[in-house]
Structure 1
């Protein structure tokens, strides 16, 4: 590698409805956006903006949808809820950590999914819930 070359770090994103500021920590102990299970012992995030958009669009609550650029403060691992169940090889770059995520910035310009696509996702999640298959591996 030449002396003028630079390395680029992987960006990570977290979609939510929480109103956070730069430097805030996203910590474990909140319910999933996708099921009404117990409080989670992991924080979830993604290396793709699309997965974070889904998180924001499906997040519980009535606040505005938000996407944050985050920095893990400890070890991370592939999210087994997606990588083992739906997307072998982790193409969605979905991760989780027991350590907090630090908010680095907010992504303010992003395009959400179409209303039809969002409804398809919500219908699919409701079907999984009704079938008892909405279990989160926590």
Structure 2
């Protein structure tokens, strides 16, 4: 999709966006499980998130899985939104023009419909660089639009 002519995704206008959609986590989930809002942020653990986040890019979900809190194995799940969703304002037009990461969020649950196993794992060095960026963001008190 050409981001110059991209239609913004809002709770009132989201039907034009097609999956598949993915969610990265270290949780061990089963098909049919629901992912819900109300979890602590992976980037600022003192913040409880009002949304559940997902993407249309497997490697984006893989990055989220590797950065997720916890000791479990990083996993990428194929998910279906159960209600309306919007562009993730933490990246859309804030860090990247348009929504090239195809990142979204919803206040409604996501249903797990499968697990995606063919995503690109980060090298230990690249993962550490991402963790360092997140620490720097937290130190700078970067705003999370919740």
DSSP-derived class of the 1:14 partner:
strand
Please show how residues 16-55 of structure 1 align to structure 2 within 5 Å.
16-55=25-64
- Decide whether the 8 Å contact of 2:83 with 2:106 is kept in 1: yes
Distance across 2 between alignment mates of 1:36 and 1:84: 24
Q: 2:100 aligns with which of 74, 91, 111?
A: 91
* Greater Cα shift, 23-32 or 36-45: 36-45
TM-score (norm 1): 0.89
Counterpart of 2:139 in structure 1 is: 130
Give the C-alpha shift of residue 85 in structure 1: 1.8
Counterpart of 1:4 in structure 2 is: none
Give the C-alpha shift of residue 98 in structure 1: 0.4
Gaps of 5+ in 2: 1-17
RMSD, aligned CA: 1.1
Gaps of 5+ in 1: 1-8
Greater CA radius of gyration, 1 or 2?
Answer: 1
Pairs aligned (count): 129
Give the C-alpha shift of residue 108 in structure 1: 2.2
Deviation above 4 Å: which 4+ runs of structure 1?
A: none
Q: 1:116 aligns with which of 116, 120, 125?
A: 125
Q: 2:78 aligns with which of 57, 69, 84?
A: 69
TM-score (norm 2): 0.84
